[in-house]
Structure 1
Amino acid sequence: MTGGDDFLTPAHLGGPPVDTDNCAREPIHIPGAVQPHGALLVLRADDERAVQVSANSEAFVGVAPDALLGQHLADLVGDQGAAALRAAFAQAGPSAMTLTFRNGRTYDVTARRDGELLLMELEPPDVRAGTPALYHAIRDALGALEHAPDLHALLDVAAQRVRALTGLDRVMIYRFAADDSGEVVAEARAPHLHAFLGHRFPESDIPRQARALYVQHLLRFTADAGGGQVPLVPALNPVTNAPLQMGALVLRATSPVHLQYLRNMGVIASMSVSIVQDGRLWGLIACHHGAAHVVPQATRDACEFLGRVLSLQITAKRDAAVNARRAALGAQHARLVTAVTGTLTPLDALTRADLNLPGFLDTAGAAVRMDGGTRTLGVTPSDEDLEHLVAWLRAQGTPSVCTDALARTYPPGALFMERASGVLGVSISGNWDEYLLWFRPEIPATITWGGDPHKAVQVSDDGTARLTPRASFSSYVEAVRGVAQPWQAGDLDAALDLRGALLEVQGARLAALQDLNARLERANRELEGRNAELRRFAFVTAHDLQEPLRILTNFLELFSARYTDQLDGGADKLIGFAMGEAGRLRELIRDLYAYTEISAGGDEAVRDLALGDTLNAALRGLQAKVEATHAEVTHEPLPVVRGNPARLEQVLHHLLDNALKFSGPVPPRVHVRAERDGDMVRVQVRDEGLGIAPEYHAKIFEVFQRLNRLEAYSGNGVGLAIARRIVERHGGTLQVASQVGAGATFTFTVPAGSGA
């Protein structure tokens, strides 16, 4: 189970022995020799003359290597054979045919062109089976592959049919894991052989450069592990002045390391066919035989063809499994997308308990980050571990991650592998700022290796680590940590589907928000213009109304003074009433102007100010009313607040005026206190007056709302509305708590100052 068919003994090229330092750089495609059951002829393309041949050429074409070099193609196969070969060399890939050479011998020939060289691989023809029998075997194999119900059955059928075609003792389907180790996932074998099914083989059995070569050239074959090898003559190709590139040749020699590996397994002949998926090596059809055995050229071609068909069928089965998984998750996918669509809080929507986001992929836990917030559901890493994991994912630069052994690629994952050894995640933003993650906990697991994987490297007496074929392939069971239940085919696709839907929803949401912001910006500009117009109107109106009132008041005073001796008591009363209403109208105009100015939202300077000083200023403006009502106004030590001094004085003025006005028949008693509440200061103005019924608590803050008879109490119903607007402009609130007959407590909040 190795890629050693392509190993090159470095000593053959004058290099050092194979060890762990140079193995990865080993030129396995230029062994400089062929297997002895066939021969190789290399001709120069421009004149069709032999420039390099295998040393066994005389046994095949009747001409020794030295004599064969320089001979023309037609001298070997005649004009008709040369014409057939020219047509073959013109093809893009290798072409197979049967040719009779001048010495009368017939061979199966594989012909191909490689740059300026023409290559011919010669093998004895297969005399055991005819074309019809092979055709029927291939047709039956294709039918069986097509009707396999699932991937497991497909691989079993492939192993059985390749064994039937080749007659080899053991045929295995070998699948590569994410760490490049491989597992035997299907097997057809002779009854006397022990099973390798379910056994794992380490990555070192098929080195990286061998896997790369297997993607380019799909078939390797060793006919006899004890048959030796035949060198090329000359060793360097005269056209290129370099070793011949032999990676594509089936006859290329097998490395001594791999030959020893085969013998240790009791294998003499071997063949492998690559299974390639999307340009990557998915696995191998690996074949073993206990005796020397030449698989004929036509049979090898049939096996390679079946390998290509198997690759297509694996893709089809994988796609079917993915589609089935998507269909199974479709209903929940739709529920998740529907929950997010149209909501202003998608994070809340996705993490609703009834949607069961962890259950979407049959996991123990999930995490969501959206709109600047993170939520976890079920069993997940800690918040700190989650942040570190996401930072690592961001550094990877990929939109998704899917692993059932996180700690192997992210070592810090070992700290929380009990909770999250398996991770599947998708970014729902450009760089993992927003994401969905699902977690699976560690589960106890064992791996059955085909021999101890730790004995692939031995240390020699001089301390050099040397690659040595493992001598034992007995089952070796190893316990593993940090592994979760594998993700199903289609899980990642389902998560990516959800990612795409969420990105689409978020895109629509972003477009809607951008449109809303644009409309709000236009509305704000219009509102600013209207506010400016309103302020101009209020100023002009106040000025124009004040002037007639002033003239009217002056005329009333003049009239009263000039004609006082001619007026009776009733006239004096009427003139006094007119004077009072004119004053009330003047006060109303002033308050309306103040309310309009505040509502229009002009910028006003704010600063730290002592609330006690502001209270004293308000009381000075009410001094006459305080004295007239014999009021008692007390206060506790008041803090520093931040606001506009004149505006906050207005607030206290209106609240105190309200308390003095509605005190009832007894002298008013008013108390002011304040306390810190976070970044705000809560101020209370409490009185013992008439009180307000709860159903009117909201109404009193509206413009022109009065709860008492006009003749009983002065006022115009604007003061409390002004006070609330001022408080709101400072980012606070103004509320009342009161019952009829129990007084009232007005509470407002303003920002705390630096000294509060």
Structure 2
Amino acid sequence: MMDSELLPPENLGGPRIDTTNCAREPIHIPGSIQPHGALLVLTAAELRIVQVSANVEHFLGHAPEQVLGRSLADLAAASEVEALARFLAGETLEKNAQYVFCLNFGERRVYDATAHRADALVIVELEEQDAAASSAGFYHSIKNALSELEGAEGVAALLSSAARQVRHLTGFDRVMIYRFAEDDSGEVVAEAQREDLHSFLGHRFPESDIPRQARALYVKNLLRLTADVDAPPSPLVPLLNPVTGAPLNLGGAVLRSTSPMHLQYLRNMEVASSLSVSIVQDGRLWGLISCHHTRAKIVPQAVRAACEFLGRVLALQISAKRAAETFRLRQELQQHNVRIVNAVTGTLTPLEELVRPELNLAAFVRAGGVALRFDGRSVLLGATPDQVRVDALVGWLKSRGELEYHSSSLSRVFPQAAEYARLASGVLGVSVSAGWDEYIVWFRPEVPLEITWGGNPNKPVQVTADGTAQLTPRASFAAYVETVRETALPWHPAEVEEVSALRATLVEAQGARLTLLRELNARLERTNRELERSNAELRRFAFVTAHDLQEPLRVLNNFLGLFSKRYVGRLDADADQLISFAMSEAGRLRSLIRDLYAYTEIGTGPADFSRTVSLEDTLSSVLSALQPRLEETRAVLVRDPLPQVRGNPGRLEQVLHHLLDNALKFSGPLPPRVHVSAEVLGSECRVSVRDQGIGIAPEYFGKIFEVFQRLNRLEDYPGNGIGLAICRKIVEQHGGQVWVESVLGQGSTFCFTVPVERAGGRDAPTV
């Protein structure tokens, strides 16, 4: 705050200070000091006294008018005045804010003195000496205090130790460690007090309790003492400094009188004396060592110096222990980060790696859940909003134009998040692509925060005797509990930084993955082209072979037939057996070539799969072709109503023919019982052919659909092992699947799916 924003002092015509304007109170120019000491204002060059406190006669035995204008050398011991002069000539007090020495004014008037600069002036403060504060026991206590602070494990233990040690050194009834929050409110985070006093530990105090200009002075001057809240201040004589013509700046003076507002505040807390020591880190007021006493208490200069020293040590120790805690957290984060990076490095499927339970991605930053999206696929792990809400959140993150974002109170900036605040009040997200198409977003659940205020933080109105409303310091410090909702535990800076580092690694890995994918795709395309060319040649070879072998095989069959008619029964038994064997093998070869021709024909030439097919008519056609077999085997066939489907009529007829032929063939010793049914499931129709035959062992469920795979001896069950391979090929051309469900010895059910016929349905495949 600039001086121009401050109000003029009340003793120079300024307004009365209350809680409406206390933030503008000029507390550094009160025009008076506390009466337990005296103040001399000297010119820096001549050490001539130009201003004093009104109580100077009590300390020096001379009235103010007898002291003003005289040289300090006229009143004090020459050696001490010369030492002060040498110090002023050789050093500036900006480097050493207070010069501590003794001043002997004769007649047993020896005082502890401190000197500091105020512009072109030197302010000397005099206080009674205290022999106990300079004893060996006192310095032993300081040494013990330092040892305990250094040995404390962690910040919490350090602060508790500091409160105990300062109370031991000073004898105050209560010592609190008061930490400022980001909003400049404060919380008591450690406390040592008399057993009969109520505790303020954990209590929060509003920003207005320590106004901005007071916090600024705490940074410049590390110690502040109020010895007696009821002691009348001693005014300066003259009120305005004759050298500057302005109120004297007492911001660096220990004896500076306390603001009337703060005095009333202390009285309301039933405090008669207070001492505050600043804890400053990197030029910022981290907190205070705040000491309270129920009776007036003058703290000797040596004790104050020890407390200020402990305050500086405490600030360093807080930094060191926080750094150690952060270091340990960073180690844990980096170790987890390495596991994540190792999991995704070189993989073409990062999502599958990131969701592995052993990786525990949510625990990386102590989150309750995590949402991921890679390669167009989304996964939610742990406690998260549903995918629709996650998509909305990611859309909002994308609109911000940032690739990283974190908040511990998401609903304050993204109101829709209030709907799922219980699951996700905190969010930490990173985009692994340019526009949040691929991302990782961690969520932390709501942690309802109960803030215990030291009294109602709202400014109370006090009504005076004449009925006038007047704003005054809070008179009650009874606990006032406020519950804050829709807030999660804050993200530690180390967590945010480590996630940012992970994002950079993932982006790099994604780039490498895309390069590898492009290379693999190019190789795959080349391989596919070669396979297509090779398969086409093989299909042509098999087709031509099967086609061209039929003519010589027909000649061979005709020759064997004529040979059999002419010579069977005319030669010996061995000759008849050889002729029968040749006829049988020629028939099997004819069947094999026919099946091979049928199999290769399926993969050659275009076929229309978009036609409407009546499965009822198709089944009837198949049964008509198999009628002799049905009669021969005395089969019982049950057929349910069958729907219309989309596909190729001829090829679907082949499928049903092969499945029914197998049901009749592998029926066992009893007459076959076959049931044909169908069920519409969404856009598909599942057709089932169930028999009560010999069944199939589970280990062969997949093998039977491969070409030339047989499970039985040819002598027991004739066939070439191509029929089911033909079925699979035809069904896959229709975009469906074929499979078997069976129990060995109890029958089998062969099922296949094909697209169902619907008005305005999608196009069927064309091969």
Which bracket does the TM-score occupy, shorter chain normalised?
Answer: 0.5 to 0.7
1:340-361 deviation line (CA, Å, top 9, x unaligned): 9899687683799xxx99xx99
Deviation at 1:718, TM superposition (A): 1.5
* Deviation at residue 123 of structure 1 after TM alignment: 0.8
Alignment of 1:82-231 (within 5 A): 84-89=87-92, 92=95, 94-98=97-101, 108-112=113-117, 117-118=119-120, 120-124=122-126, 127-129=129-131, 133=134, 137-147=138-148, 158=162, 162=166, 170-176=173-179, 180-183=185-188, 185-187=190-192, 198=201, 200=203, 202-203=205-206, 204-207=208-211, 210-211=214-215, 213-215=217-219, 217-223=221-227, 225=229, 226-230=232-236
Residue of structure 2 aligned with 1:309, choices 307, 313, 322: 313
Q: Distance in 2 between matches of 1:237 and 1:731?
A: 101
Does the 8 Å contact 2:326/2:494 carry over to 1?
no
Per-residue Cα deviation, 1:571-590 (whole angstroms, up to 9, x for no partner) = 99999879856643542442
The 2-side partners of 1:146 and 1:714 are apart by 97
Cα distance, 1:222–1:8 mapped onto 2, change above 3 Å: farther
Residues 111 and 118 in structure 1, CA contact (< 8 A), matched pair in contact too: no
Give the Cα separation in 2 of the matches to 1:687 and 1:341. Answer: 50
Instruction: Please identify, of 563-572 and 270-279, the stretch whose mean Cα deviation from structure 2 is larger.
Output: 563-572
Q: 1:16 to 1:729 in 2, by over 3 A?
A: farther
- Distance in 1 between residues matched to 2:16 and 2:485, nearest whole Å: 37
Task: Please name the residue that 2:536 is paired with.
Answer: 536
Q: Distance in 1 between matches of 2:648 and 2:669?
A: 35
Tell me which amino acid in the other structure corresponds to 1:654.
H
| Mapping 1:66-81, distance limit 5 Å | none
Report how far residue 638 of structure 1 moved: 3.2
**Cα pair 1:173 1:284 within 8 Å, conserved:** yes
Say which of 285, 290, 294 aligns to 1:285.
290
CA contact (8 A) 2:619 2:653 kept: yes
Structure 2 contact 233–257 (Cα < 8 Å) conserved: no
State the match for 2:357 in structure 1.
349
**What displacement does 1:675 show?**
0.7
Tell me the percent identity. Answer: 32
Kept in 1: contact 2:447–2:485 (CA 8 A): no
Shift of 1:141: 1.6
Cα distance in 1 between the residues matched to 2:292 and 2:746:
100
Residues 219 and 285 of structure 2 are in contact (CA less than 8 Å); yes or no, is this contact kept in structure 1?
A: yes
- The offset of 1:305, in angstroms, is 0.6
Aligned with 1:537: secondary structure?
Answer: helix
Q: Tell me by how many angstroms 1:110 deviates.
A: 3.5
For 2:33, give the aligned amino acid: Q
Per-residue deviation at 1:273? 0.4
Task: Pick closer, same or farther for the CA change 1:426–1:666 going to 2, 3 Å.
Answer: closer
Q: Structure 1 81/686 Cα, relative in aligned 2: closer, same or farther at 3 Å? A: closer
**Could you say which residue in structure 1 is the equivalent of 2:704?**
700
Question: How far 1:187 sits from its partner (Å)?
Answer: 3.7
Give me the whole-angstrom Cα distance separating, in 2, the residues matched to 1:274 and 1:455. Answer: 26
Query: Which deviates the most, 226-235 or 87-96?
Result: 226-235
Residue deviations 1:248-281 (CA, integer Å, cap 9, x gap): 5545543221133345556555321023467552
> Could you say which residue in structure 2 is the equivalent of 1:683?
687
CA distance in structure 2 between the aligned counterparts of 1:392 and 1:173, rounded to whole angstroms: 47
Q: Output the amino acid matched with 2:125.
A: E
Structure 2 counterpart SS, 1:261: helix
Q: Distance in 1 between matches of 2:551 and 2:33?
A: 126
Instruction: Check 1:713–1:158 CA distance in 2 against 1; reply closer, same or farther (3 A cut).
Output: closer
2:304 corresponds to 1:300? yes
Q: Contact 2:38/2:127 (CA < 8 Å) preserved in 1? A: no
- Offset from partner CA, 1:381-404 (integer Å, 9 cap, x none): 998999899999989987585x9x
CA distance in 2, matches of 1:674, 1:510: 49
Q: TM-score, normalised by structure 2?
A: 0.64
Distance 1:146 1:299 in 2: 18
Q: Distance in 2 between matches of 1:590 and 1:462?
A: 116
Report the 3-state secondary structure (helix = DSSP H, G, I; strand = E; otherwise coil) of the residue aligned with 1:281. Answer: strand
**CA–CA separation in structure 1 for the residues paired with 2:198 and 2:371:** 51
Aligned residue for 2:614, secondary structure, equals: helix
Alignment CA distance shift 1:624-1:483 (3 Å): closer
CA contact (8 A) 1:57 1:63 kept: no
- The code of the aligned residue for 1:673 comes to S
Unaligned stretches of 5+ residues in structure 1: 1-5, 69-75
Contact 2:707 2:721 in 1 (8 A): yes
d(CA) in 2 for partners of 1:693, 1:636: 24
How far residue 673 of structure 1 moved from its aligned partner, in angstroms, is 2.5
- Classify 1:261/1:529 alpha carbon distance in 2 versus 1 (closer, same or farther; 3 Å): same
Alignment of 1:307-706 (within 5 A): 307-313=311-317, 349=357, 367-369=368-370, 372=378, 427=428, 434-435=441-442, 437=444, 449=454, 456-458=460-462, 466-471=470-475, 476=478, 524-525=524-525, 528-546=528-546, 548-549=548-549, 552=552, 568=566, 583-593=590-600, 597=603, 610-612=612-614, 616=617, 625-626=625-626, 629=629, 635-641=639-645, 648=652, 650-659=654-663, 672-678=676-682, 680-686=684-690, 691-694=694-697, 698-706=702-710
Contact 2:50 2:241 in 1 (8 A): no
Instruction: Quote the offset at 1:219 in angstroms.
Output: 1.7
* Count of residues in Structure 1 that have an aligned counterpart in Structure 2: 686
Cα distance, 1:120 vs structure 2 = 2.9
AA matched with 1:716: N
* Aligned partner letter, 1:108: A
* Residues 262-281 of structure 1 mapped to structure 2, 5 A cutoff: 262-264=266-268, 269-276=273-280, 279=284, 281=286
Bigger mean CA offset, 27-36 vs 7-16? 7-16
Give CA-to-partner distance per residue, 1:681-722, whole Å, 9 cap, x none.
22113467x654546655432321235665887643112023
What is residue 750 of structure 2 aligned with on the other side? 746
Q: Distance in 2 between matches of 1:636 and 1:51?
A: 122
Q: Deviations over 1:397-424 (max 9, x none)?
A: 87585x9xx999999999999x99xx99
CA contact (8 A) 1:672 1:684 kept: yes
Normalized against structure 1, the TM-score is what?
A: 0.65
For 1:415 and 1:459, the matched residues in 2 are separated by 44
Which one-letter code corresponds to 2:707 in the other structure? V
The CA distance in 2 between the partners of 1:90 and 1:575, in whole Å, is 124
Work out whether residues 674 and 690 of structure 2, in 8 Å CA contact, stay in contact via their aligned partners in 1.
Answer: yes
CA RMSD between the two structures: 6.9
CA contact (8 A) 2:596 2:722 kept: no
Residue by residue over 1:273-292, the C-alpha shift from the partner in whole angstroms, topping out at 9 and shown as x without a partner, is: 02346755244232447447
Give the CA deviation at 1:214: 3.1
- Cα separation, partners in 2 of 1:642 and 1:136, compared to 1, 3 Å: farther
Asked if 1 retains the 8 angstrom alpha-carbon contact of 2:189 and 2:201, the reply is yes
How much has 1:670 moved relative to structure 2?
Answer: 6.1
Deviations 1:226-262 (A, max 9, x none): 2154499768997xx9988765554554322113334
Residue in 2 that maps onto 1:255? 259
Distance 1:715 1:267, change over 3 A: closer
For residues 718 and 493 of structure 2, the distance between their equivalents in structure 1, rounded to whole angstroms, comes to 73
Tell me, in whole angstroms, the C-alpha distance in 1 between the residues paired with 2:584 and 2:172: 125
Q: What SS is found at the alignment partner of 1:533?
A: helix
Post-superposition shift, 1:441? 8.4
- Amino acid corresponding to residue 142 of structure 2 in structure 1: A
Query: Aligned partners of 1:650, 1:244: CA distance in 2, in Å?
Result: 110
Partner of 2:33: 35
- Helix, strand or coil at the partner of 1:716: coil
Name structure 2 gaps, 5 residues minimum: 71-77, 345-350, 373-377, 569-575, 762-767
